[in-house]
Chain A
Amino acid sequence: MSTPTTAPAKGRRFNGLPFIGPSVTVLLIWMIVPLVMTVWFSLQRYNLLDPTVTGFAGLDNYEFLVTDPDFWASLTNTLVLVGAVLIITVVGGTLLAVLFDQPFPGRNIARLFAIAPFFVMPTVAALIWKNLMMHPIYGVFGAVARALGLPAIDWFAEYPLLSVILIVSWEWLPFALLILLTAVQSLDREQLEAARMDGAGAVAQFVYIVLPHLSRAISVVVMIETIFLLTVFAEIYVTTAGGPGNATTNLAFLIYARALLQYDVGGASAGGVVAIVLANIVAFFLVRTIARRLEV
Chain B
Amino acid sequence: MATLRLRGLRKSYGTTEIIKGVDLDIADREFAVFVGPSGCGKSTLLRMIAGLEEITDGDLFIDGTRINDVGPADRGLAMVFQSYALYPHMSVRDNMAFALKLAGASKAERAAKVAEASRILQLDAYLDRKPKDLSGGQRQRVAIGRAIVRHPKIFLFDEPLSNLDAALRGQMRIELARLHRDLKATMIYVTHDQVEAMTMADKIVVLQAGRIEQVGSPLELYHHPANLFVAGFIGSPRMNLLPVRATGADPAGVRVALPGGGEVVVPVDGTRAAPGTGVTLGIRPEALKPGSDGALAGEVSHVERLGGLTLAHVAVADGATVVAQIEGSAPVRTGEAIRLTIDPSATHLFDGDGRALPHRSRHPLAA
Contact = CB atoms under 8 A, between A and B. Distances in A.
Nearest to A192: B85
Nearest to B89: A212
Contacts of A11: none
Interface in A199-251: 199-200, 204, 208-209, 212-213, 215
Contacts of B78: 197
A193 interface: yes
Using C-beta atoms within 8 Å of the partner chain, give the interface range for chain A.
10 to 19
A296 B132 CA distance: 10
A196 B81 contact: no
Given A197-B78, A199-B99, A208 B73 contact: no
Contacts, number: 62
Contacts of B81: 190, 193-194
B212 interface: no
B79 A194 contact: yes
Contact of B77 (A191, A197, A204, A209): A197
Contacts of B73: 196-200
Interface string B77-94: 111011101111100000
Interface in B71-114: 71-74, 77-79, 81-83, 85-89, 98-99, 102-103
B102 A196 contact: no
**Most chain B beta carbons < 10 A, residue from A188, A193, A197, A212:** A197
A207 to B, nearest CB: 11
A204 B89 contact: no
A193 B89 CA distance: 16
A194 B88 CA distance: 12
A204 B102 contact: yes
B188 to A, nearest CB: 14
Contacts of A193: 52, 72, 79, 81, 85
B50 interface: yes
A209 B87 contact: yes
**Most chain B beta carbons < 10 A, residue from A194, A199, A208:** A194
A208 B98 contact: yes
A213 B86 CA distance: 12
Given A191-B85, A197-B78, 17 more contacts: A188-B85, A190-B85, A191-B86, A193-B72, A193-B81, A194-B86, A196-B71, A196-B73, A197-B52, A197-B72, A198-B99, A199-B102, A200-B73, A200-B98, A212-B88, A215-B89, A296-B89
